[in-house]
Chains A and B, each alone.
Chain A
Amino acid sequence: MRNELVEMFTEEKMTAVDAIIERHRDNPGELLMVLVEVQDITRYLPVELQRYIAWRMGIPASRVYGVASFYSYFSLAPRGRKVVKVCTGTACYVKRAGEIKERLKQRLGLSEGEVSADGEFSIEEVRCLGACGLAPVAVIGEETFGLINPDNVEEILEKASS
């Protein structure tokens, strides 16, 4: 089980994952923290990894999947190193968020759920980011870009890449 995960990620990452599980394994209630910390390392939570966590923590794999699929924070599919999150909340949407998303996809050559060939980017839609005053808003990696428009997507991608 672990061997397949080492192939999928790396020995180094799996060692870090094991350390996280070890820290929380006596408290099954800390599953949410485990998933957050593990996703920080692996960037996403494939079902094999969830089953591994469940097995090591001695909790049902179904429960892990239930938690991981409940929160949009967790991704079950691979993500890029930088996740482009385009807000499609009401304010952003009326300010052409749909078009912005299409442009970004075109520019990166991806559709939703895919990762760019260099593993750098993936695109997700998010609901309101709570920054409606800056609409339309996109988040790339950790950085937030407000008052953008379909024509300057290239600019913000460059900024985010630098």
Chain B
Amino acid sequence: MYVKLKINGIETTVPKGGTILAAAKAASVYIPTLCHDPRVAPTGACRLCVVEDRRRPGQLIPSCFTPARDGMDIVTDSPVVTAAIREQLKLILINHPLDCPVCDKAGECVLQELVIRYGIVEAPYTLEAPFRPVDRESPLIERDMTRCVLCGRCVRICAELQGKGELEFMRRGYGTYVDTDGSRALDCDFCGLCISACPVGALTDKLFKNTTRPWKLERRETACLHCGLDCRIYLNMEGEILRRVTAPPDKDGAEELLCVRGRFGWRAAAGAVRRPPGPWLRDARGRRDATWEEALDFASRRLAEIAGERGGGAVAVLTADLLTTEEAAVARGFFRTFLGSHDIASLQAAGYRRLMDQLDRMLPSPPPPASQEDLLAADVLLVLGGGAAEWHPVLKPLINRYRQGEGKELIVISSWPDYLFERATLPVAVAPGHLEGFMAELQAALEGREVASGLDASRRGIDVGRLARLVSLLQGQGEIAVLVVPDLYARGDARAALAASLHHRVQRILPLGGQFNSRGALSAGFASPRDFQDILADIEMGRIRSLYLIGEDPLEDFPDPQRVRAALSRLDLLICQAPYATTAAEAAHVFLPTVLPWEKEGSVLAVTGQRRHLRKVMTAPPGARGDGEILEELRRMMGDPPANLPGRVAAVGETGSSGSPAAPPPGSPAATAAGGRGFPEDRTSEANAVGAEAPSPAFPFLLVPVPSLFGDGLVSRQSPELAGLKGGLGVVMNNDDFAALNLKDRETVWVATPYGAAPARVRALARIRPGTALLLHAPGNPEGLSLLRSDVAAVPAAIGRKEAP
């Protein structure tokens, strides 16, 4: 279904429904635009894209939203059209200050380009300047509406794509301006899509402000570090100084989507925040700076001793997936094959690894990667668990794009009202702690198996009508794609099992929660059914004597930091290899500073399956080395594998761990699942184990730790901008609970659980279940982590003005 027409005499075609502007683009004919943004619906506000049809001369047609029709003979540069564009530009300039010398946008301003292109040298019209707000208070984004041309791109992109509606047209007619309610500072996702959409200098990046001029910047393409979607980004470099991050253009020429972390979180890599200048060693005499030779010599000697005496099973590794795939292969070779360690686990990517491991065991073949296009092509998007768009914020605009399609269903099964839940066509709310149980029952019901309790919806707090619709959609004809979302700390496998049980009906299954190169790490052989919970127990039992941290910090990323600290102090050797000196670095025997992914070359594999080769785009700090390089050096220094050393065989017997790294130790989840592919027969006991402790009079709330939009990962936490937006530990409660406690928005309250108490800033949300409270920003916050226990989805809590009851 194509439409054939002529643009400036050039024959061209567009798909039916395509605009004249799209046809012109296909014919490589230039048409000026200002309010047009291919990412959002056209409005035809600026009237700069006018063209003429030779068959109807003198009649101006706005090309950005007029569909092309067969036989049109469009001319874009006739005297009538050019005069109209010039006149329109003069009208726009009535309310646009010519402050280009001090405007950050100068050099990449669409209006400036057009004024120069059309040679507007006079501003013949003057009118009284209307009221226009200027906001210099908001974080990260500056709004100077005196420069606004009212194209509405920011308003549309914020509402349509980000789904936020933070900016809106206020008043009407000549007095119209774009603003928030009551001209307050922005309180939004800070994705900065509005900045990327603004054609003039009305919305600008505060981090970039007054640093340099855009024409001095060189754009180097790489991948964002802040989650496993690995969005393409441009580092805007002035020489070797990173000035800002922008998104590369997509196939329509508009900037690709980015979230707050990608656009504003770059100072984690460029601000030299806590980047240590060199390695150090710690012994009985305390901490001292060391040369790389000393540090590596010490590390290799101690590792060889421990692995030699106790076997490779006495060494455990935690990695945060900042390794390139090649480095991950080196790490696997070093730890698994060379040292004989069983455990290469992760903290920040623990949920992702667990889901991948569970799916790998349950599915007949590994889950095929699901690209963003695959998700958009589905008819039914089933999201198992809350927090998908919080783990990976670019899912917000992406899923909004999906929802704009006709007849698209978005099913979200969650125990808290996350972003997608609030926008679902079929939201299924399950009481906290019941999610695992519900999913297991749903799976049984879908498979036609009897469940002991029946699918007792009311017990789980679920609307029966919704349940019926859910079942009919899952058994219907539409193509289904599944997003499987891990909890921050709980370890249940019911959602993976449910996703796996649908595999014959489902086109794509995409586990979420992956970090920068989590999928690449798994492809390099990091898969392990054991996680830090198991490792911690083994450290406490004395089975594991050495912990090797690669970009991980169990003191900052695991519930109950006191227990972790006590366990770490029992270790014979703690090696911390990381780009930043975080809490664990201070406790480590050896600290080895590493480079960040932008500072090295290698390939990454996004959770969506796209493999990319990344060039080195930034200079590494002088004292830092690549992870792969360090591990290769250690291996070289150690010479023979410790396995060849005498005494190892006896040691293996002592520790009780098996000789083969592939076989999981007894008692691990893999062992109970019989280790094979196919579905475990009975998960009911496991499903119940991953519940929540019940609230009590002393602790009337259920506190659910949830992922943060601003990034929970170690890298995100180093960004001063993201940390600032988080504003410390946060708790979100139901508005009636909030009113009953007579609290004020954002006031600091005490949150107490049976395990600890911590101050947190409180906010209220209308759609949250009464009695439920969400805990935000616990990762990286020892007080927040002390409130929690691993392996529970929710803990009982008290919230109030007074200190812990």
Do the beta carbons of B172 and A47 come within 8 Å of each other?
Answer: no
CB A67 to nearest CB in B, in angstroms, measures 9
Complex interface: stretch among A54-62, A81-89, A113-121, A138-146: A54-62
What's the Cα separation between A1 and B747 when bound, in Å? 12
Chain B residues with CB under 8 Å of A64's CB are: 181
Across chains A and B, the number of contacting residue pairs, with CB separation under 8 Å, is 56
B169 within 8 A of A: yes
A58–B767 touching, CB < 8 Å: yes
CB distance from A137 to the nearest CB of B (A): 23
Q: Which residues of B contact A70 (CB under 8 A)?
A: 169-172
Interface assignment of B180: CB less than 8 Å from any CB of chain A: yes
Take A59-B165, A63-B168, A66-B170 as given contacts and tell me if A54 and B181 are in contact as well, using a CB distance cutoff of 8 Å.
yes
Q: Are A62 and B766 in contact (CB under 8 A)?
A: no
Known contacts A66-B168, A66-B169, A70-B171; A61/B181 CB under 8 A: yes
Please give me the residue from chain B that is nearest to A25 by CB atom.
B766
Which chain B residues border A59 with CB–CB below 8 Å? 165
Cα(A83)–Cα(B569), bound, Å = 75
CA gap between A60 and B164 in the complex, in Å: 7
B766 contacts A55, CB within 8 Å? yes
CB-CB under 8 A for A63 and B171, given A1-B745, A47-B181, A58-B422: no
Question: Roughly how many angstroms separate A132 CA and B739 CA in the complex, as a whole number?
Answer: 51
Cβ contacts A1-15/B at 8 Å (1 or 0 each): 111000000000000
Residues of A within 8 A of B735 (CB): 1, 55-56
A62 touching B165 in the complex, CB below 8 Å, given contacts A2-B739, A50-B181, A56-B766: yes
Q: CA A79 – CA B767 in complex, angstroms?
A: 33
Q: Which residues of B contact A58 (CB under 8 A)?
A: 422, 766-767
Q: Which of A3, A47, A55, A60 contacts B165 (CB 8 A)?
A: A60
Q: Which residues of B contact A66 (CB under 8 A)?
A: 168-170
User: Interface extent on B, as a size class?
Assistant: 20 to 34
CA distance A1 to B167 in the complex (A): 22
Shortest distance between the CB of B769 and any CB in chain A (Å): 15
- Write the chain A residue with the least CB distance to B422: A58
Specify which chain A residues have a CB less than 8 angstroms from the CB of B179 in the assembled complex: 62, 65
Q: Chain A residues near B739 (CB, 8 Å)?
A: 1-3
A51 at the interface (CB under 8 A from B): yes
**Chain B residues in 8 Å Cβ range of A55:** 735, 766
How many Å from the CB of B418 to the closest CB on chain A? 14
Nearest B residue to A62 via CB reads B168
How far, in angstroms, from A64 to B166 measured CA to CA in the complex?
Answer: 11
Residues in A neighbouring B745, C-beta threshold 8 A: 1
CB pair B181–A65 under 8 Å, yes or no, is yes
**A69 touches B (CB below 8 Å):** yes
**B453 within 8 Å of A by Cβ?**
no
Complex CA gap A3/B179 in Å reads: 27
- CB neighbours (8 Å) of B477 from chain A are none
A1 to B745 Cα, complex, angstroms: 8
Instruction: Name B299-333 residues within 8 Å CB distance of A.
Output: none
Give bound CA distance, A54 to B181, whole Å: 10
Instruction: Tell me the complex Cα distance, A69–B177, Å.
Output: 11
B159 neighbours in A (Cβ, 8 Å)? 60, 63
Binary interface encoding of chain B residues 152-187 relative to chain A, with 1 for a CB under 8 A from any of its CBs, else 0: 000000010000111111111000000111100000
Contact of B182 among A47, A56, A60, A63 (CB under 8 A): A47
Q: How far does the alpha carbon of A161 sit from the alpha carbon of B171 in the complex, in Å?
A: 33
Do the beta carbons of A69 and B170 come within 8 Å of each other? yes
Q: How far is the CA of A50 from the CA of B555 in the complex (A)?
A: 44
Chain A: interface secondary structure? helix
Chain A residue numbers with a CB within 8 Å of B210 are none
Complex Cα–Cα for A66 and B178 (A): 9
Complex Cα distance, B170 from A47, in Å, reads 13
A1–B743 Cα distance when bound, in Å, is 9
- Closest A residue to B764 by CB, please name it: A1
Choose one: B168, B172, B422, B767; the contact of A65 (CB below 8 Å): B168
Q: Closest approach, in angstroms, between the C-beta of B611 and any C-beta of chain A?
A: 39
Q: Which of B166, B171, B742 contacts A62 (CB 8 A)?
A: B166
Residues of A within 8 A of B767 (CB): 58
Chain B residues, Cβ within 8 Å of A61? 180-181
Shortest beta-carbon distance from A149 to chain B in Å: 32
CB distance from A9 to the nearest CB of B (A): 16
Q: Are B171 and A69 in contact (CB under 8 A)?
A: yes
A58 to B427, CA, bound (A): 15
- Min CB distance B785 to A, Å, is 31
Chain B minimum-CB-distance residue to A58: B766
Cα A2 to Cα B742 in complex, Å, equals 10
Q: Is the CB of B181 within 8 A of A62?
A: yes
CA A69 to CA B170, docked complex, whole Å: 6
Please name all residues of chain A whose beta carbon is closer than 8 Å to the beta carbon of B165 when the two chains form the complex: 59-60, 62-63
Q: Give complex CA distance A3, B741 in Å.
A: 11
Chain B residue numbers with a CB within 8 Å of A3 are: 739, 742
A103 to B434 CA separation, bound complex (whole angstroms): 70
Contact of A60 among B166, B171, B422, B764 (CB under 8 A): B166
Interface residues of A in 16-59 (CB under 8 A from B): 47, 50-51, 54-56, 58-59
B88 CB to nearest chain A CB (Å):
24
- Which of B170, B181, B745, B766 neighbours the largest number of chain A CB atoms within 10 Å of its CB? B181
- Among B168, B739, B745, B766, the one with the most A-chain Cβ atoms within 10 Å of its Cβ is B168
Q: In the complex, what residues of B have CB within 8 A of residue A50's CB?
A: 181-182
Q: CB-nearest residue of chain B relative to A59? A: B165
Report Cα–Cα, A3/B159, bound state, in Å.
Answer: 30
Instruction: Report B187 CB to chain A, min CB distance, Å.
Output: 9
Contact with B along A64-106 (1 / 0, CB 8 A): 1110011000000000000000000000000000000000000
Is there contact, CB below 8 Å, between A65 and B766?
A: no
Chain B residue nearest to A66 in the complex (CB): B168
Question: In this complex, what residue of B is CB-closest to A57?
Answer: B766
What's the Cα separation between A70 and B764 when bound, in Å? 29
**CA of A116 to CA of B166, assembled, Å:** 36
Contacts of B764 in A (CB 8 A): 1
Complex alpha-carbon distance, A129 and B587, angstroms: 78
Contacts of B169 in A (CB 8 A): 66, 70
Smallest CB gap from B738: residue in A: A1
* Bound complex: CA A66 to CA B175 (Å): 12
Most A CB contacts (10 A, CB to CB) among B164, B422, B766, B767 go to B766
What residue in chain A is nearest B735 (Cβ atoms)? A55
Q: Using Cβ atoms and an 8 Å threshold, which residues of chain A touch B167?
A: 62
Mask: chain B, 723-741; 1 = CB below 8 Å from A; 0 = not = 0000000000001000100
User: Which residues of B (551-608) have their CB < 8 Å from a CB of A?
Assistant: none
Q: Which of A1, A2, A62 contacts B180 (CB 8 A)?
A: A62
What 5 new A-B contacts, CB under 8 Å, besides A3-B739, A58-B422?
Answer: A1-B745, A1-B764, A60-B159, A65-B182, A70-B170
4 closest residue pairs by CB, A with B: A60-B165, A65-B181, A66-B168, A47-B182
A-B contact pairs, 28 of them (CB 8 A): A1-B735, A1-B739, A2-B739, A3-B739, A3-B742, A47-B181, A47-B182, A50-B182, A54-B181, A56-B735, A58-B422, A58-B767, A60-B159, A60-B164, A60-B166, A61-B181, A62-B165, A62-B179, A62-B181, A63-B159, A64-B181, A65-B170, A65-B182, A66-B168, A69-B172, A70-B169, A70-B170, A70-B171
The chain A residues found within 8 Å of chain B, CB to CB, are: 1-3, 47, 50-51, 54-56, 58-66, 69-70
Chain B residues in contact with chain A, CB under 8 A? 159, 164-172, 179-182, 422, 735, 739, 742, 745, 764, 766-767
